């Protein structure tokens, strides 16, 4: 799943990975997500770390616990995740991108043409 970044807590990285998978449709609404034990074993991390990431997602309304059954993606989670990720990008990442474009003296129109 991940090569962990030493500068960000693992639970946040795991949370972000699950959000990305929800946005991409890899975890569909109503679908069960891997168990805490399974993720901990696969990623070789502490189950408490996985539980903390999953609890954040429950608190955000993206996952729901079904006692004795597992953790499921909530209805509307994809749209909600996409909206929050877009807002976070615009607020946190985009200003750094604009600053870098300006620093390098790049023409934004030329950058957009480069995508074709």
Convert the pLDDT of each residue in 26-59 to its tens digit: 999 999 999 999 999 999 999 999 999 999 999 9
pLDDT at 115 over 70: no
Nearest-angstrom CA–CA distance, 95 and 109: 17
Q: Hey, what are 7's tokens?
A: 């500068």
Residue 1 lies in a domain: no
Determine the structural domain holding residue 46 and report its residue range: 10-113
Residues forming beta bridges with residue 63, ordered by sequence position: 73
CATH of the domain at 35: 1.10.10.10
DSSP run (H or E) holding 73 = strand 70-73
Instruction: Count the domains in the chain.
Output: 1
66 contact partners, CB below 8 Å, separation of at least 6: 72
pTM: 0.83
Residue 4 lies in a domain: no
């Amino acid at each position: 799943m991940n090569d962990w970044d030493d500068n960000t807590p693992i639970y946040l990285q795991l949370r972000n990975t699950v959000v990305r998978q929800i946005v991409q449709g890899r975890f569909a609404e109503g679908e069960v997500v891997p168990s805490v034990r399974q993720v901990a074993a696969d990623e070789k991390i502490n189950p408490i770390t996985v539980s903390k990431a999953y609890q954040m997602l429950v608190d955000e309304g993206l996952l729901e616990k079904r006692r004795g059954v597992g953790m499921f993606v909530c209805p509307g989670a994809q749209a909600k995740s996409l909206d929050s990720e877009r807002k976070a990008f615009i607020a946190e990442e985009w200003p750094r991108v604009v600053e870098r474009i300006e620093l390098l003296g790049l023409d934004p129109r030329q950058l957009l043409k480069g995508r074709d």
